[in-house]
Chains A and B, each alone.
Chain A
Amino acid sequence: MTDAALELESLSFEMNGRSVLRDVSVTINAGDRWSIIGPNGAGKSTLLKCLMRIYTAWSGKVRLFGRPLENFTQRELARRIAYVPQPGNVVRFPYTVREFVSMARYPYATPFSAHRAGDTAAVESALARTGVEDLANRSLTTLSGGELQKAYIAGALAQGGDILLLDEPTAFLDYRHQAEVIELLQQINQESGAAILTVTHDVNTAIITGGSALALREGAVVFSGVVSELACEKKLGDVFGASFRFLEDTATGLRLVAPQGMPA
């Protein structure tokens, strides 16, 4: 499949008089795997929130499967795109994991049947695919960071949709959980054919993930293309304003990076 799932044409957004996104243009195809990278405050999270219409006051054109984003009702949009906010966005009310995942079926509810036949199946399959069945009856407030992130992804899966947006899904996780989450997303991408866009500030996460990368700096696109091409001194310097050393991983042949302090 190579049809455009999401087309952005000079998307710009201002918040409190400050320009957060400037003329962002990119085309995401169905089933693509994208990393959105950039330094803190580059507008990465904001970009996802604009696409999810959490922020609505942006300008420019965004088309979802050829149809302008503003023509979707929020429910229709939620059936096509699912979103997982930053892990700092904690859930404070003690819902169980199953209750939380079930809530993701909201966009499919009709006024006269809040719960449809397919809902239970979708919820159980999402719990199984993310490996959180054992946690289904635990309260969200008792989960560890890694467990919580998987529960969130289970929610996004239960919501269905053709595009998954995840904001820093591996930040704050230990190595094992980082690897598990990256692996899980890879699997979802291959099995369901959903396009996945993850925001990360970690270049290595993007390189290991593979696929394409969109690099932002101060709200503007500085790189857009295959992620391995981003791993060069000049381009990374442009994005992060720092210099890097490059390390060849003999096992995978991937070129990983390590920061080298500020440029002279």
Chain B
Amino acid sequence: MRHRIILLLLLIGSITTLLVAPLLGSERIPWAAVWQPAPDDPSSVIFWSIRLPRACLAWISGAGLAMGGMIFQAIFRNPLAEPFTLGISSGAALGATLAMRLGLGLSFLGFSGAALGGMGGALAAIGIVYALTRLRPGLTTSTMLLAGVAVNFFFSSLILMVQHTANFYDSFRILRWMMGGLQMVGFDASLHILPVTLAVAGIAWWLTSELNLLTLGDEWAVSRGVAATRVKTILFFSVSLMVGAIVSLCGPIGFIGLMCPHICRLLVGPNHRRLLPASLLFGGAFLVACDTVARTAMAPAELPVGIFTSFLGGPFFIWLLLRPSREGEMIG
């Protein structure tokens, strides 16, 4: 009952954040511009074509990244797992950077070259991390994080190499994108990542019982009848594709997948039937809020949102690591 109320509050809060955020900013938006959109009214254009699409993009990306973190935390049984710490974001970044550098204009099924590169890179990264952790059975926090760190270093060096060989314009574009940002005009970007995010949310909803059992560990899960290898493969693959698509658009926005599922677990408990909707709602609202702060804190100048989330996420990560054991402890 208590959890239902929290979920309802999260729903209301998340929608409110999504709708209020576009009203805030260096340019004040009068109500009339919202209710009666007119193509020649600058306030109306700012609201409808710039800020609202941006908030939508932030919401979908945040929801997707939070869900990705939640799923990886279940599979690795570790609250420090998320696309960013596992090196998946940097894998996606490398793929997207390569695509940008090489000017890949190709597109496939509506995905741009950068998006395809990002997805490929994300899959490569998760493949490497998974293989590294499989080499040492009895997966521990340190093995997994070290594998992630190693992958991160490796891909970062390759990204720098690609950047170094690029011309000034491409190099700046890559650098700027690496900081993570949501400056897109119109709803195209949102529509781009919406299907894959929805698909992953559907898969995760379908697999909530399996996710619950996987958090107990493979032995429990298998003995309860979960086809663990198949379920994990499906989840790894689909989440990596989603993260690749999000990162290739918005850059590697870090720590959303770390902070949001953790906060949600404190709010609604570890059961994925509640944790999944909570993570989606909270993650979406959280990135919208972060982006709004990044956009307005130093107005009219804008801070890339990735810098802001990492600014929050770094200390959070250290807190999770150093926190003393107590009820609800998950770090092994």
- Contact A106 B77, beta carbon cutoff 8 Å: no
A95-B270 contact given A89-B217, A103-B209, A141-B327, CB 8 Å threshold: yes
A93 at the interface (CB under 8 A from B): yes
Q: Is A141 in contact with B223, judged by CB distance below 8 angstroms?
A: no
**Contact of A93 with B219 at beta-carbon distance under 8 Å, contacts A75-B225, A141-B329 already known:** no
Check B209 against A74 for contact (C-beta < 8 Å).
no
Contact indicator A139/B327 (Cβ below 8 Å): yes
CA–CA, A100 and B225, complex, Å: 15
Q: What are the residues of chain B within 8 A of A114 when measuring CB–CB?
A: 208-209
Closest to B332 in A: A92
Asked if B225 and A93 sit within 8 Å, CB to CB, the answer is: no
Complex alpha-carbon distance, A81 and B327, angstroms:
32
- Verify A92–B224 contact, CB threshold 8 A: no
> In the docked arrangement, what's the CA distance between A230 and B272, Å?
48
Known A49-B219, A89-B219, A92-B332: A78·B225 in contact at CB below 8 Å: yes
**Known contacts A53-B222, A54-B219; A103 and B213 CB within 8 A of each other:** yes
A93-B215, A94-B270, A99-B271 as given contacts; A109 in contact with B209, CB under 8 Å? yes
Contacts of B215 in A (CB 8 A): 92-93
Q: Is B220 an interface residue (CB 8 A)?
A: yes
Q: Are B223 and A83 in contact (CB under 8 A)?
A: yes
Complex formed: what's the CA distance from A91 to B77 in Å?
A: 9
Number of interface residues of A (CB under 8 A): 35
Closest Cβ neighbor of B74 among chain A residues: A93
Encode A29-64 as 1/0 by CB contact (under 8 A) with B: 000000000000000000001001110000000000
B224–A106 touching, CB < 8 Å: yes
Question: Which residue of chain A has the shortest Cβ distance to B210 in the bound complex?
Answer: A106
B209 touches A93 (CB 8 A): no
Which positions 243-276 of chain B face chain A at CB distance < 8 Å?
265, 269-271
Contact B330 A92 (CB under 8 A): yes
Q: A85-B220, A89-B217 are in contact. Are A74 and B332 (CB under 8 A)?
A: no
For B271, the chain A residues whose CB sits under 8 A away are 95, 99
CB distance from A162 to the nearest CB of B (A): 15
Chain A residues, CB < 8 A from B226: 74, 106
| B221-252 near A? 1/0 per residue, CB < 8 Å | 01111110000000000000000000000000
- Smallest distance from the beta carbon of A151 to chain B beta carbons, Å? 12
Proximity bits, B289-332, A CB within 8 Å = 1, else 0: 00000000000000000000000000000000000000111111
Task: Determine whether A82 belongs to the interface, using a CB cutoff of 8 Å to chain B.
Answer: yes
Q: Could you tell me the distance between the alpha carbons of A96 and B270 in the complex, rounded to whole angstroms? A: 9
Residues of chain B lying within 8 A (CB to CB) of residue A104: 224
Structural contact, A94 and B223, CB atoms closer than 8 A? no
Query: With A89-B219, A109-B209 in contact, do A94 and B224 touch (Cβ < 8 Å)?
Result: no
* Residue ID in chain B nearest A152 by CB atoms: B220
Among A76, A78, A109, point to the contact of B223 (Cβ < 8 A). Answer: A78
Q: Is there contact, CB below 8 Å, between B223 and A106? A: no
Interface presence of A130 (CB below 8 A): no
Chain B residues, CB < 8 A from A52? 219, 222-223
Q: Which of B220, B225, B328, B329 makes the CB contact (< 8 A) with A74?
A: B225
The answer on a CB contact under 8 Å between B77 and A78 is no
Residues of A within 8 A of B77 (CB): 92-93
- B330 and A93 contacting across the interface, CB-CB below 8 Å: yes
What 3 A-B pairs come out closest when comparing CB atoms?
A: A78-B225, A107-B225, A83-B223
Subset of 29 A-B contacts with CB under 8 Å: A52-B219, A52-B222, A54-B218, A74-B226, A74-B227, A76-B225, A77-B225, A78-B223, A78-B225, A83-B219, A85-B219, A89-B217, A91-B220, A92-B329, A92-B330, A93-B215, A93-B216, A93-B330, A94-B270, A94-B327, A99-B271, A103-B212, A106-B210, A107-B224, A107-B225, A109-B209, A141-B327, A141-B328, A141-B329
